[in-house]
């Protein structure tokens, strides 16, 4: 495993939060794997992370200030070993673009305390507590993924 891409809708909340958490978690486990993120839509391309997501990450000890939103490019499948998606709607969108050999899964499927079909819900239209919940979910999934990768 060399490179992982995390995907949500606009790449300003869930997937960038997961990117910064996963990057640090993999490093803590001694795994040298590149991590990036993107959105299925292009509405926010070039914009920084949502302020609530950024603040929640900062409260958790992560610095997401360098993030700029990008749209997922199907050409990236050739460069990514694993594409992890935040919810079923985006999973369907990414799988429609994917070649048959692409490894595309729900991110929370790596959280051993969650069912395999568990999603990371979009906190965008809610309050700060939704972002706090997302951080807990991506931390659990990141830890589970790091353990999985260390064992495989």
Q: Which of 8, 36, 50, 111 is catalytic?
A: 8
**Short-list 116, 109, 117, 115, CA closest to 138:** 109
**Short-list 54, 53, 73, CA closest to 126:** 53
Q: Is 68 a catalytic residue?
A: no
**Short-list 40, 30, 124, 18, CA closest to 88:** 40
Q: Which of 50, 87, 111, 122 is catalytic?
A: 122
Q: Is 5 a catalytic residue?
A: no
Q: Is 8 a catalytic residue?
A: yes
Q: Which of 13, 14, 23, 50 is catalytic?
A: 14
- Residues tagged active-site: 8, 14, 122
């Amino acid at each position: 495993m060399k490179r992982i891409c995390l995907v949500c809708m606009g790449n300003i909340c869930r997937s960038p939060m997961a990117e910064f958490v996963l990057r640090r978690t993999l490093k803590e486990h001694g795994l040298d794997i590149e991590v990036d993120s993107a959105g299925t839509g292009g509405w926010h391309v070039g914009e920084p992370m949502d302020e609530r997501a950024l603040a929640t990450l900062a409260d958790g000890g992560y610095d997401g200030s360098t993030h700029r939103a990008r749209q997922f490019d199907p050409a990236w499948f050739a460069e990514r070993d694993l594409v992890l998606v935040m919810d079923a709607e985006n999973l369907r969108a990414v799988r429609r673009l994917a070649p048959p050999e692409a490894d595309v899964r729900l991110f929370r499927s790596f959280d051993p305390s969650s069912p395999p079909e568990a999603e990371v819900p979009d906190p965008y239209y809610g309050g700060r507590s939704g972002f706090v919940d997302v951080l807990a979910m991506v931390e659990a999934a990141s830890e589970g993924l790091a353990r999985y990768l260390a064992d495989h």
